[in-house]
Amino acid sequence: MTVGNPRCWWCGAAASSGEHKFKRSDLVRAFGDGAWRGPTAVAHLADRVLAPQSSRAKGLKFEKSLCHSCNTARSQAFDRAYDALADYIRDSGDYVLSTGILDWNDVFGDAWQDGMELLTRYWVKHIGCRLAQVGAAISPGMIEFLDGSSNLRHVQMGLEIREDVVAVMGHLADTHGESKHSLWLGPAMGHVDRSSGVVVQMTSHTGINWLRLWYDYDFVDPTGSVSFGDRKVELPRGWSIDPTSVVADCRVCRPEGYDDE
């Protein structure tokens, strides 16, 4: 939420650029560049699946919260690292899914540590835009991390495999001819400081297909950590809906069984 002239949360200049909630290249990769509508363009899980009308739709952008320079030149290397991961999941996701191992060397090659650190900054930038959108207090420590002058602080995040998304996307592809690819943006939940009215803690997630990044931001607690700092990342498997019941509950197969939400 911004009132008056929004400021770039990263550098303080006038904000002119709305960071895409999803990178446009991701959307095109997942859905093609056209209009996306259809009976299956609905949320099957508690989380929202994005069913945008076109990849240039304004609803896909966060409100203006970064200046042009921070959103482009300053974060270009972060964006490239993210693209490398998205490409890798598209091309080799089945392997990662079956082994439960994400090897950064397979994504970034010998410079995997640099790649993984740039990717972490991409996600911190994403989180910062999300924080700016809900009017949260953004920790200077987070900005120092983006600038490369500090270790990660105030953000804890991890990667996991979501088995319920595997089940939903597999069913939608096999039975309903939908894309095997999906992008996820979880609902944001947080705490507001009573005296200032400012959001000081936020938990949410984002994902490429079944690969979920969960994160927890805390303005007060300086702890920072990632679950994926080693070269070979063992991905935990989780779900919020029993994967075996997802198909039985498909509301495209059985539309009569559901009340309006």
Q: Considering only 46-54, 70-78, 129-137, 221-229, which stretch makes contact with Zn ion by CB under 5 A?
A: 70-78
Number of residues that bind Zn ion (CB under 5 A): 10
- Cα pseudo-dihedral 124, 187, 59, 226, rounded to 10: 20
Beta carbon nearer to Zn ion, 84 or 143: 143
Counting contacts by CB under 5 A, is residue 78 touching Zn ion? Answer: no
Q: Cα separation of 59 and 20, whole Å?
A: 9
**From 30, 45, 70, 233, residue interacting with Zn ion (rule: CB under 5 A):** 70
**Is residue 252 part of the contact set for Zn ion (CB under 5 A)?**
yes
Calculated CA dihedral for residues 225, 98, 33, 68, nearest 10 degrees: 10
Q: Write down the H helix ranges in 134-220.
A: 140-147, 163-176
Which of positions 181-210 make contact with Zn ion (CB under 5 A)?
none
Strand partners, 74: none
Please report, as a single letter, which amino acid is at residue 109.
G
Query: Hey, which residues between 1 and 40 contact Zn ion (CB under 5 A)?
Result: 8, 10-11, 13
Nearer to Zn ion, 129 or 136 (CB): 129
Residue with tokens 């990342």: 233
When the beta carbons of 13 and 42 are compared against Zn ion, the nearer one is 13
Of 10 and 104, the one with the shorter C-beta distance to Zn ion is 10
For the CB of residue 158, give the shortest distance to Zn ion in the complex, in Å.
28
Q: Which two tokens stand for residue 236?
A: 């935990």
Burial class (CB in 10 A: 0-12, 13-18, 19+), 64: buried
Tell me the C-alpha distance between 93 and 95, whole Å.
Answer: 5
For 211-231, letters b (16+ CB in 10 Å) and e give: bbbbbbbbbeeeebebbbeee
Check residue 211 for interaction with Zn ion (CB under 5 A): no
CB of 5 to Zn ion, least distance (A): 13
Told to check if 132 binds Zn ion by CB under 5 A, we report no
Find, among 92, 83, 106, the residue nearest to 22 by Cα.
83
Which is closer to Zn ion, CB of 154 or CB of 171? Answer: 171
* Nearer of residues 12 and 34 to Zn ion, judged by Cβ: 12
Which residue in 27, 67, 159, 168 binds Zn ion (CB under 5 A)?
A: 67
Q: Which stretch binds Zn ion (CB under 5 A): 83-91, 122-130, 173-181, 212-220?
A: 173-181
Binding interface with Zn ion (CB under 5 A): 8, 10-11, 13, 67, 70, 175, 250, 252-253
